[in-house]
Amino acid sequence: MSRHLKTREVETPIAVSSLRKAFGKQVVLDGIDLKVAEGETVAVLGQSGSGKSVLLKLLIGLQAPDAGSICVLGQEITHLTDDRLNEVRKKVGFLFQQAALYDSLTVEQNVEFPMSRHIGMSAGQRAGRARQLLASVGMEKDLSKMPSEISGGMQKRVGLARALALDPELLLLDEPTAGLDPITGADIARLVVKLRKQRRITSVVVTHDMAAARIFADRLVLLRDGKILVEGSFEDLQQSHDKFIARFLGEAA
C-alpha cells in the first residue's frame, strides 16, 4: 500500500514539509510531510502523546516548529510577524478540545465574540449572523443559555458555530467528539460532514474516535514515533499487514 494518496498539486491550503518539534529530549514530530487539498477533511490519528494536538497548534501558529515549513493558505507562517500571523488566523476556525466557551457569556454572545473583535459589523448584524450559525448547528433554541446550562455535546456545537463566525477557509478541530457518548459523537461527526458540503471548508481533525473519523474524513493520517506511519482511506488502513495499524484499528473500533 502506498503511504500517500494522490492529492491535487494545485490549491493546497495546507502544505507541511520536514516539520520537526521537540520538547526537551522528547521528539514529538520528526520530519512530517503533509498536504491537505482544498475541500478535503483529514483526520489525524495516533496514540496519546503522538503529536496530534501539537500539529494543530503548529498549523495555527500557537507554537513554533524547531525546523521545517508550514504553508497555510499560501503563506509560510513560521517566520511571520504577529500582525501578519493574525491576518492568516482570521481565515482559520479553531475548535478546542473542551470547546473553550467563555463562562460569563451566553451561547449567542460566545458566537458573536470573534465578530466583535475582527469584523466591522453592527450589533444587529452580529446577532443575526450568530443566530444563523447557531441554527446551522441545531442550537437556535438555546441562544440565551450560559455554557454551564448546556451539555457537553451542545457546547461542542456552540464551539463549532463560533469557529465558523469569521467564515473561515480552514477549520481545525481538536477532538470534537471527546467526552461524548457514541450517539452524540456521531451527531457531531455528521455535522462536520454537513458543514463541509455546505461551505466546502478544508478541515484537519485530530481525534481518537475512529467511528467518527469514518463518517467525516476523506483521508486518515496515523502518527507513530513522530512520523506519519500510514495515510489513506479507512479501507486502505484495513488492508495493511502492519501489526500496529491492525491493533490501532481494533482498539479504536
pLDDT tens by residue, 55-102: 999 999 999 999 999 999 999 999 899 999 988 998 999 888 777 889
For 89, 156, 178, the CA distances from 139, given in Å and listed in that order, are 25, 11, 19
pLDDT-based confidence at 9, cuts 50/70/90?
very low
| CB contact at 8 A, 253 and 211 | yes
Mean pLDDT of 205-214: 88
- 14-91+168-252 in CATH: which number? 3.40.50.300
Residue 21's Cβ-count burial label (10 Å; 0-12, 13-18, 19+) is: buried
pTM of the model: 0.85
As to burial, measured by CB atoms within 10 angstroms (0-12 exposed, 13-18 middle, 19+ buried), residue 79 is exposed
Helices and strands, counts by H and E, the chain? 9, 10
Q: Measured between alpha carbons, how far is 213 from 65 in angstroms, rounded to an integer?
A: 27
Every domain of the chain and the residues it spans: 14-91+168-252, 101-164
CA 251/CA 253 separation, integer angstroms:
6
